[in-house]
Chain A
Amino acid sequence: MNWQWFHRLGSPRWFYEKTQAWLPWLSIITLALLLVGGIWGLGFAPTDAKQGNSYRIIYIHVPSAFLALAGYYIMAISGAIGLIWKMKLPFMVMKAAAPIGAALTFLALITGAIWGKPTWGTWWVWDARITSMLILFFLYLGVIALQQAFQNRDTADKASAILALVGTVNIPIIYKSVDWWFTLHQPATIKFIGKSTIHISMLYPLFIMLVGFYCFYTLVLLLHTRVEILRRESRTQWVNDLAAGKQGSK
């Protein structure tokens, strides 16, 4: 098997130059998917029989919740790669992934609360999934706080990678225990609306939004990582040349 691509990942410069070409395409695809999915989902998908129009927030809520969780694994896996192969780039990806993931988790929580008001009649419910999402948010905050606390960048990278990995081991355990806790304390005051049968015509725009969010996540992660690369490599020749070249062409 050819591992050259993997070793190339160790070079931030290679990554920076390679992703330069992807950015325009990725931006166009992301924009197109989000626009099509958003307009279709918000404007043209059929109204839900039980929830009316309020269900339409799932076109934002579900994809952001998906990526909030996937983002934690992306962060932890890049941290693990950085720890194992001692490469610079994965740590930069990890650092970039933490605030994005935290923001998506927050978005999922907020949209969930906004959806909860008309559906359950209250902004916040200690429901198993909401609570798990809140804990995921705390885990993200921990990684960000640890990353910020160190003066030394290498130590910060490795320490937060270890914390992200410990969190990864814990996430299934936390989710299972919150599930169990919730079934034990099932609140009687809140009536959950029975599972609405999702019509296939509601699912198409959701699928498009999901793919769109994945592209959006990739795009934002790339942009953040590129900034981090420039910041960390700012003393190298190639970044100085890049900066000089940009100014020269203007």
Chain B
Amino acid sequence: MANSPFWSTFRRDLILVFRHKTDMVNPLVFFLIAISMIPLAIGPETALLIRIAPGIIWVMALLATLLSLDNLFRSDFDDGSLEQLLIAPYPLFFSVLAKVTVHWLATGLPLTLLAPLLGVMLSLPASAFGALCCSLFIGTAAMSLIGAVGAALTVGLRKGGLLISLIVMPLYIPVLIFGASAVQAAVLGEPFSLQLAVLGAGLALALVLAPFAAAGALRVSVNG
């Protein structure tokens, strides 16, 4: 098992993440600073902040994920190890899945864990914290998977960063709608299991299709 294409890539990428901690920390700092901008821009009234907190936290988590996507394949592309993955006699699907999993562990999971703190700052009621964490937990995983397709498509371009956002953001809309709505429902004291179920279904679909599309996109980007 330790030598399977999934686990070997997984181990390698995880080690790389721990050796370059800034890649992991920067999206989090962005998340923190960007959310702090909102009360400064619209004013500190609690009622207003409660009203917009679910949407703001979700949009900012989406943006933080987008900003971190460019790193997903970039360094491997630059040093040539991506080509080694492509010519390796293993299905690319699992290597891509491993890379995305590590990306989620380094970005999505910390975002999820940081979110309650930001919820407190935006005076989100305590009843909504469960929904916030659950929806972000599932939603960031789906966003990492979908974003991998965009990262794979633009890895060959020198200035891919903004382009990734352009092509991936419309694809994030369902995740955003259901994620933010789950938190909104929890704030109002309504059940939110429907939204989480739909997010889970989306994650399952993305888990099956996105690595496949990203693998195809990587072949196009690297080999032309």
Binding site for B on A (CB under 8 A): 135, 138-139, 141-143, 145-146, 149-150, 152, 154-155, 158-159, 162-163, 165-167, 169-170, 173-174, 176-178, 180-181, 184
Contact = CB atoms under 8 A, between A and B. Distances in A.
Contact of B166 (A142, A165, A176, A181): A142
A146 B170 CA distance: 14
Interface of B: 149, 153-154, 156-157, 160, 163, 166-167, 169-171, 173-174, 177-178, 181, 198, 202, 205, 209, 213, 216-217, 220-221, 224
A169 B166 contact: no
B220 A158 contact: yes
Given A146-B153, A149-B157, A174 B224 contact: no
A146 B154 contact: yes
Given A162-B217, A166-B149, A178 B177 contact: yes
B177 A166 contact: no
Given A135-B170, A146-B167, A149-B157, 17 more contacts: A138-B170, A142-B167, A146-B154, A149-B154, A149-B163, A155-B156, A155-B221, A159-B153, A162-B153, A162-B220, A166-B149, A166-B171, A166-B213, A167-B171, A170-B174, A173-B174, A181-B177
B153 A174 contact: no
Contacts of A177: 173-174, 177-178, 198
Contacts of B178: 177
B220 A155 contact: yes
A181 to B, nearest CB: 5
B80 to A, nearest CB: 18
A134 to B, nearest CB: 9
Contacts of A135: 170, 173
Contact of A154 (B163, B166, B224): B224
Given A159-B220, A169-B209, A178 B173 contact: yes
Contact of A163 (B153, B160, B177, B209): B153
A180 B171 CA distance: 16
A155 B160 CA distance: 14
Contacts of B149: 162-163, 166
Contacts, number: 72
A38 B37 CA distance: 51
A9 B177 CA distance: 42
Residue of A150, A159, A167, A181 most packed against chain B (CB within 10 A)? A159
Given A155-B220, A184-B181, A139 B154 contact: no
Contacts of A169: 209
Contacts of B163: 145-146, 149
B177 A173 contact: no
Contact of B170 (A142, A154, A155): A142
Contacts of B171: 166-167, 170, 174
B167 to A, nearest CB: 4
B53 to A, nearest CB: 16
A165 B209 CA distance: 11
Contacts of B202: 173
A152 B202 CA distance: 34
Contacts of A166: 149, 171, 213
Contacts of A145: 163, 166-167
A22 B164 CA distance: 40
Nearest to B202: A173
Contact of B169 (A138, A155, A176): A138
Nearest to A181: B177
Given A135-B173, A169-B209, A155 B224 contact: yes
A181 B181 contact: yes
Contacts of A154: 224
A135 B177 CA distance: 13
Given A174-B174, A177-B178, A178-B177, A150 B156 contact: yes
A145 to B, nearest CB: 5
Contacts of B198: 177
Residue of B157, B163, B174 most packed against chain A (CB within 10 A)? B174
B213 A165 contact: yes
6 contacts: A162-B216, A162-B220, A169-B209, A174-B173, A180-B177, A181-B177
A84 to B, nearest CB: 11
